[in-house]
Amino acid sequence: MTTASEARELPDPAAEPTLVPNRAAAILGVSRTAVYDAIGRGEIPSLRVGRSIRIPTRRFLQVYFPEELATESDETSNPPTPEQGKQGDMSPNLTQQTTPQRVGLAAVRDSTAA
């Protein structure tokens, strides 16, 4: 059984590619019902596998913890090559990531932390 402090640690997307709703609730510090409600509203990205619901870890972290994911990717990303920064190049720069807006339960997590 995991302790409360272990449950609130952010998962590594490489080691834990998906989360169950109970784990997401523990990370956010909200109830399991709140997570299921947010999934139903589309606030938490999810996949249905049969009757089970799984939450993609990387997308979950992008939505609720973009700053932690950004520091992790900054440490492991390669710097762009001169070819990628060329003017007139219309191909997308796939190394750049946009930071999604915090929505839904992030406000609940932030208000309970204060």
Cα 47-19-6 angle, rounded to 5 deg: 165
Q: In the chain, how long is the greatest CA-to-CA distance?
A: 55
**Residue with the two structure tokens 């606030």:** 43
Nearest to 23 by CA among 43, 50, 44, 51: 44
Q: Are strands 52-56 and 47-49 parallel, antiparallel or unpaired?
A: antiparallel
pLDDT digits (tens, 9 = 90+) for 36-92: 999 999 999 999 989 999 999 999 999 998 887 766 655 555 555 555 445 444 444
Grouping H, G, I as helix, E, B as strand and the rest as coil, residue 13 is coil
Ordered structural domains, the chain, with CATH: 14-72 (1.10.10)
pLDDT of 32 reads 96
Of 21-25, 61-65, 95-99, the range with the lowest mean pLDDT is 95-99
How much is the mean pLDDT over the chain? 74
Mean pLDDT of 20-28: 95
